[in-house]
Structure 1
């Protein structure tokens, strides 16, 4: 009987110990501070996809995701220094920003974020397959340049919306 009880206690302890790290990783508030930040350009990926058109505008969504192993971080406002290129050649189109530049969102593993690229319909549009940009934290720029890949068309008057929760 003693052997069975010890075995049962050991199994329960192993199960509880193995479940604890999974719960901690899933929580956005449970960052260890020892892993690199998901906000650094080398620590996330970004993809451009077409989004539903608006009145007088084409829209594209740039979704940022971070793999496990990185700490969550805070982003705010629209990315700055946005440039577009097609097959490695700059298009010459730069973008302004629109929307609330002060709302903070949490970004990290399991917590993707996105921002909108709004392109006017009435302007001469140029094909692009990459966007480069600098992310913003609540207290300033995050060092380095991030890159997103995907087909889109841009034009003079293109605007970038603020970073928002979700993919």
Structure 2
């Protein structure tokens, strides 16, 4: 207290990890031997608090014009490495697709983000064009765009 008046502190900013507080885009990335790769980049809007993510998103579903692809991806890579996400700290994860046949076209991926203590409530979505097939896997969230 200063001069007998209590100063009110501002309420904490909402978390960048909540689905309504970030945007996500899918873009083709560099291919590797036998696989196509797509990068999903998440960017938080200004004014939202940083948060910590870890591991690959879960409950990932792909669709084209709202029609589900039927491809249920797996995960790969370390699932417990913490990554800070927030304004000025974008993150990304990889969608790795085996190069076999044509695959199914998709223009959206929906997913649930993971944190060190469990999942973040709510469903995030990313838009962009990709092709998926059985054997598609999702990598862990990493720092950077």
Same fold (TM over 0.5): yes
Residue 150 of structure 1 pairs with residue 128 of structure 2? yes
TM-score of the aligned structures, taking structure 2 as reference length: 0.91
Higher strand share: 2
Structure 2 CA distance, aligned partners of 1:87 and 1:99? Answer: 30
TM-score of the aligned structures, taking structure 1 as reference length: 0.80
Residues 106-128 of structure 1: per-residue CA shift (max 9 Å, x gap): 00000000000000002550100
The question of whether the paired residues in 2 share the 8 Å contact of 1:124 and 1:156 is answered with no
Aligned residues: 136
Shift of 1:94: 1.2
Shift of 1:161: 0.2
Aligned to 1:100: 78
Structure 2 CA distance, aligned partners of 1:143 and 1:124? Answer: 34
Larger CA Rg, structure 1 vs 2: 1
Match of 2:113 among 117, 131, 135: 135
Mark the runs of 5 or more structure 2 residues left unpaired by the alignment: 1-9
Higher helix share: 1
Root mean square deviation, CA, Å: 1.1
Task: Answer 1 or 2: higher relative contact order, Cα 8 Å, separation at least 6.
Answer: 2
Residue 41 of structure 1 pairs with residue 29 of structure 2? no
Q: Which runs of 4+ in 1 moved over 2 A?
A: none
Change (3 A) 1:130 1:113: same
Shift of 1:98: 0.1
